[in-house]
Amino acid sequence: MSTATAAPDGRRTRPWAHLLVGRVTPLGEVLAGGRVATKALQIAVAVFLSVVLWRALYVGTSSQAGLDREQAVTYAVLGTVLVSTRFSASWLNGDTVLQRMQQGTILFWFLRPMSARRYYFVRGLGELGYAQVWLAVTVLVCLPLGVIQEPDPAMLPVFVVSLLLGNAIFYELNLVLDLLCFWTVMNQSAVQIMFFVQTLLSGGFAPLWFFPDWFRTVSLLLPFQGTLNVPVSIYVGRLPASQIAGSLALQVGWVVGLWLFNRWLWERASRRVTVQGG
Amino acid sequence: MTTHLVGTGSESAAQRFAAAWILALRITRLNLRARLEYRAEFLLTVLTGLVWQTSILVFASVLLVRFPGMGGWTSPQVLLIASMRMVSHALFILLFGRVLWITGLVQLGSIEAFLLRPLPVYRQVQLSMFSVNAIGDLLVAATLTTMAVTRFDLPWTPARVALLLAGLLGGLLVEAAVHTAISAFGLHLGGTVYWSNWTEELMATFGNYPLNILPKVAQAALTYVLPIAFLAYLPASLVTGQTQGRAVPGLVVALIPLVGLGAFVASRLFWNASLRRFQGVSG
Amino acid sequence: MTPSAPGEPIVTATHLTKVFHTTSRRSGRWGALSSLVAPQRASKTAVNDVSFSVGAGELVALLGPNGAGKSTTIKMLTGILQPTAGSVTVAGLDPHRNRERNARNIGAVFGQRTQLWWDLPARESLAILRDIFEIDRAAYERRLAELDELLDLSAFWDSRVRHLSLGQRVRCDLAAALLHDPPIVFLDEPTIGMDVVVKEQVREFLRHQVHERGRTVLLTTHDMTEVARLAERVVLVNHGQLVVDGTLDDIRRRFGGSWQVRVTLADPGADVAVDGLRIVDRDGPVVAFGPGDDGTPTLEDALRRIIERHRITGVVIEEDDLEDVMRQAYLDRELPDTVA
């Protein structure tokens, strides 16, 4: 057993270990008895309602806002799953920035050989990966049941790329909110309001195509529609081929822009911790 | 200043009843004032309560205007269901909402404190705080009701208005009955909070729609197992006269206020029985 | 980096100073608005020119009343806070500039805050830390087994952290802090709120780490029993400044050391006076002596003088409670002739 005065030699003995840290939030879900089952039930009920609701709305109509019945139902189902699974459950771990600021445990992020930024990123990878598992399972269950439509095979890779970009925008947006906590302008109510604003403007409550023109114009100027509306619209085939490139470019633009903004914000935040205290 | 407490025996039942209400209103005013002290937080909570209703607002203002309706109900009629649900739910939160917080009260030791005071414990639970969320719910309810009433495609006869009010009362009592019954378990089991959350979620999810759009089995479950149909769909069917696909005989629907009252009284009795066996939190 | 020889300074604070600048909101109706435009700035010097060093393998207690600057000092020593002036060296590194490298050399336990994840079983939390510190799996299993033996973790490490009692949780935090075998450990009030049995377990554990494993421990505490039983050296800060850097006896000498020796004389003659001592009380054959007015002798000296002077059949010694001494120290009530 080594003595305590032996110093580490800095050589990385397990280079991929940091990636494994990303399991921290989903692990709590999986290890908690019954929580996965509860979530499956919740998603099943929400999907069930979406399907029944949209089919009932479409009785007597074949197309509305450019969406036929199958497209609308599929959009609603995919949107519901994404909204139900994407938001971080790290508050159950006491791991949100807001909680850590309130309880003073934020200082531990600065006492580890893994930068706070890297930890946050790796954890986000784990959470979003877990959400995609739920999405994949839902699609695989609903497709053979005829509940949702099959995607155009040519569009499938485009959808996957767009979904990854959408997840990246989603991650960056939540990071902005979390970083604002370092300046203590956040509290629980503000977080909830942001949740609903994001869901509304991304098409999580109803496909954005149904909203009036002025609303769609506003949402195009904001990053939220890139997180859900773009990838799901590609899946259901609502986005005309001519617009796909533009939409993807817009997604990339938001990813890069937000990433740069967050880099700057992280630096300011870290400096704030070291100057003002945890 | 003398305070008239219940139980001195010399007043009449009417005087005691009035005194109890006056006391309740005084406590409510104090609770509200306490919340109002933190203006910013108060407004933020109201706003949060409002945004919680985003999905129903989107449904009402964006979707219903585009589509002809659902389940044989016209869009204005579906809107009526949603607005009736919102009104009776807002009233539920205002009058009975603290029952959802029973697990917290048990853990804080408040129930023990309530047992030592000369007031019914259920009433003290309701008076323990002011639900600022109710204000957000009321604002949304008012908006939806205005939209629904003005766009309604049937004439507003006095009879129809009476049916509307009766339906609201019925829905309010049924919701109160369900949550009171669940909270009776909450007096003993901490895990009950998951059940009450799940129930609230289901009510919010399904309560705004004509349930005849669901497959028969699902509709039966939401009528007889968890009486979501009684919250707004069935009362609204009284007002609109839309009876096709209903899982419940017309007579029962017509007596919804009585059904609600019966359910609520039963749930209160059950709650009191549960309270008698209350054991409190472990040391 | 070569390991430090025992006793060689491994943590050095030199002229550490920390000044906080805060903006406060003005009061009144337009306060919020005027604060945005012309905020009231205030500066608070939390730590003012503090210098001391800790040798490898030492256990040092950092004491001081609330608001004395202890937490701020610890935060600067661990690299969380950047000093306004002065420098810190921990195992040869500047902890603030070399945060990630320094993190491998130190472990930290903050009594009221856990670094574990609430929703995970404690054991899983430790596994995550294993991955954060990139500890080899075999070495991890060995360390975990050793820590389990010392802290009895396996009794509860499958429970979620939020369900653990305070004592169990702090034991897990101790394990978490030592998982990567750091040579230096910082503890900020680790036993606060614990029952006496668990407190002694923790102290025993810390003693073991220092004496058997040669770790360096710097600990802040309000618990005087802890100080008396654990600390070889004590650093007292008050009002952001270093007041004492020495042993408990040094503190007693400066701030307290009031005592009484109550003896039962075998032969109660008329004259019971003893050189340099004051007679506090007399009740028949029972005489209570206290320190004299000038040149206060130590308790040991006083006892010697009394025994030389008289024959006694019984003795009761009352020494100033360490808490009383510390209270004097916190209130800056030095004994007059010991000002350095």
Q: Rounded to an integer, what distance in angstroms lies between the CA atom of residue B83 and that of residue B90?
A: 10
Q: Rounded to an integer, what distance in angstroms lies between the CA atom of residue A69 and that of residue B184?
A: 44
Asked whether C322 and C264 are in contact (CB, 8 A), the reply is no
Query: What's the sign of the alpha-carbon dihedral C308, C311, C315, C318?
Result: negative
Per-residue pLDDT averaged across B52-59, rounded? 89
ipTM of the complex: 0.87
Report whether pLDDT(B222) > 80: yes
Per-residue pLDDT averaged across A66-74, rounded? 95
pLDDT at C332: 75
Distances (CA, A) of C94 to C82, C122, C149: 10, 32, 34
Q: Rounded to an integer, what distance in angstroms lies between the CA atom of residue C100 and that of residue C171?
A: 25
The amino acid sitting at A160 is V
Per-residue pLDDT averaged across B64-79, rounded? 91
pLDDT at B280: 76
pLDDT at B16: 85
pLDDT at A274: 76
Q: Residue length, chain A?
A: 278
Asked whether A31 and C120 are in contact (CB, 8 A), the reply is yes
B100 to chain A nearest CA, in Å?
A: 19
Which tokens belong to A1? 């057993």
Q: Which of A202-211, B37-46, C307-316 has the lowest mean pLDDT?
A: B37-46
Residue A110 Cα to chain centre, angstroms: 25
Q: Rounded to an integer, what distance in angstroms lies between the CA atom of residue A231 and that of residue A225?
A: 9
For an interface test with B, the pick among A41, A42, A43, A53 (most B C-beta atoms closer than 10 Å) comes out as A53
Percentage above 90 pLDDT, chain A: 77
Nearest CA to C51 out of C102, C94, C5, C85 is that of C85
Per-residue pLDDT averaged across A142-162, rounded? 93
Asked whether C84 and C69 are in contact (CB, 8 A), the reply is no
Q: Rounded to an integer, what distance in angstroms lies between the CA atom of residue A129 and that of residue A87?
A: 12
Q: Which of B221-235, C191-205, C304-318, C321-335 has the lowest mean pLDDT?
A: C321-335
Q: What is the pLDDT of residues C141-167, one digit of tens each?
A: 999 999 999 999 999 999 999 999 999
Q: Is A118 on the interface with C (CB under 8 A)?
A: no
Which tokens belong to C63? 């004491």
In whole numbers, what is the pLDDT of chain B averaged over residues?
89
- Which of the four pLDDT bands, split at 50, 70 and 90, describes residue C16? very high
CB atoms within 10 A of CB A63: 11
B134 to chain A nearest CA, in Å?
A: 15
Q: What is the pLDDT of residues B194-211, one digit of tens each?
A: 889 999 999 999 999 999
Residue in chain C lying closest to A31 (CA): C120
Q: Rounded to an integer, what distance in angstroms lies between the CA atom of residue A85 and that of residue A62?
A: 31
A24:C128 CB<8 A: yes
Per-residue pLDDT averaged across C84-103, rounded? 94
The amino acid sitting at C149 is E
Interhelix angle A35-57/A69-86, nearest 10 degrees = 150
* Most confident stretch, A194-208, C3-17, C289-303: A194-208
- Which of the four pLDDT bands, split at 50, 70 and 90, describes residue B2? very low
Distances (CA, A) of A14 to A11, B90, C136, C174: 9, 56, 7, 24
pLDDT at A12: 58
Nearest CA to C186 out of C265, C103, C94 is that of C103
- Indicate the DSSP class of residue C278: E
B8 to chain A nearest CA, in Å?
A: 45
Report whether pLDDT(C294) > 70: no
Q: What is the pLDDT of residues C44-93, one digit of tens each?
A: 899 999 999 999 999 999 998 888 888 899 999 999 999 999 999 999 99
A210:B218 CB<8 A: no
- Which of the four pLDDT bands, split at 50, 70 and 90, describes residue C257? low
Asked whether A113 and C133 are in contact (CB, 8 A), the reply is yes
Residue in chain C lying closest to A107 (CA): C80
Nearest CA to B203 out of B107, B254, B130, B137 is that of B137
Q: Which residues of C183-209 are buried (b: 16+ CB within 10 A; e: fewer)?
A: bbbbbbbbbeebeeebbebbbebbeeb
Asked whether C115 and A105 are in contact (CB, 8 A), the reply is yes
CB atoms within 10 A of CB C334: 16
Report whether pLDDT(C304) > 80: yes
In whole numbers, what is the pLDDT of chain A averaged over residues?
90
Per-residue pLDDT averaged across C132-136, rounded? 93
Percentage above 70 pLDDT, chain B: 95
pLDDT at A1: 37
Instruction: End-to-end CA distance of chain C: give it in Å, rounded.
Output: 38
- Indicate the DSSP class of residue A105: G
Residue C42 Cα to chain centre, angstroms: 30
Q: Rounded to an integer, what distance in angstroms lies between the CA atom of residue C46 and that of residue C36?
A: 26
> Chains near A, with 3+ CB pairs < 8 A?
B, C
Q: Which of A262-266, C40-44, C212-216, C270-274 has the lowest mean pLDDT?
A: C270-274
pLDDT at A44: 95
Q: Which of A20-29, B166-175, B183-192, C30-39 has the lowest mean pLDDT?
A: C30-39
Instruction: Collect all residues with Cβ–Cβ distance below 8 Å to B58 and sequence separation of at least 6.
Output: A200, A205, A206
Asked whether B33 and B207 are in contact (CB, 8 A), the reply is no
Cα dihedral B71→B75→B79→B81 (10° resolution): -20
Per-residue pLDDT averaged across C183-202, rounded? 90
Asked whether B227 and B178 are in contact (CB, 8 A), the reply is yes
Per-residue pLDDT averaged across A197-210, rounded? 95
In whole numbers, what is the pLDDT of chain C averaged over residues?
86
Which tokens belong to C47? 């730590």
Report whether pLDDT(C108) > 90: yes
- Which of the four pLDDT bands, split at 50, 70 and 90, describes residue C37? low
Is residue C62 packed enough to be buried (19+ CB in 10 Å), middle (13-18) or exposed (0-12)? buried
Report whether pLDDT(C339) > 70: no
- Which of the four pLDDT bands, split at 50, 70 and 90, describes residue B10? low
Size of interface A-B (CB pairs under 8 A): 65
pLDDT at C252: 77
pLDDT at C28: 62
Residue with tokens 């003290």: B124
Report whether pLDDT(C259) > 90: no
Residue in chain B lying closest to A60 (CA): B68
Q: Rounded to an integer, what distance in angstroms lies between the CA atom of residue B48 and that of residue C308?
A: 81
Per-residue pLDDT averaged across B212-219, rounded? 93
A17 to chain C nearest CA, in Å?
A: 5
Which of chain B's residues have a Cβ under 8 Å away from the Cβ of A206? Answer: 58-59, 62-63
Q: Residue length, chain C?
A: 340
Per-residue pLDDT averaged across A83-89, rounded? 92
Q: Rounded to an integer, what distance in angstroms lies between the CA atom of residue C296 and that of residue B100?
A: 68
Nearest CA to A192 out of B108, C101, B281, B136 is that of B136
Report whether pLDDT(C18) > 70: yes
B50 to chain A nearest CA, in Å?
A: 9
Q: Residue length, chain B?
A: 283
Report whether pLDDT(A190) > 90: no
Beta strand segments in chain A, E: 63-64, 67-68
Which of chain C's residues have a Cβ under 8 Å away from the Cβ of A15? Answer: 134
For an interface test with B, the pick among A48, A84, A205 (most B C-beta atoms closer than 10 Å) comes out as A205
Task: Find residue A273's DSSP bridge partners.
Answer: none
pLDDT at A2: 39
Nearest CA to C319 out of C228, C222, C226, C231 is that of C228
Task: Find residue A63's DSSP bridge partners.
Answer: A68
Task: Find residue C160's DSSP bridge partners.
Answer: C121
Beta strand segments in chain B, E: 69-70, 73-74
Asked whether C306 and C263 are in contact (CB, 8 A), the reply is yes
Q: What is the pTM of this model?
A: 0.85
Percentage above 90 pLDDT, chain B: 54
Asked whether B84 and B230 are in contact (CB, 8 A), the reply is no
Instruction: End-to-end CA distance of chain A: give it in Å, rounded.
Output: 35
Q: Is A94 on the interface with C (CB under 8 A)?
A: yes
A211: left (phi over 0), alpha (psi -120 to 50) or beta: beta
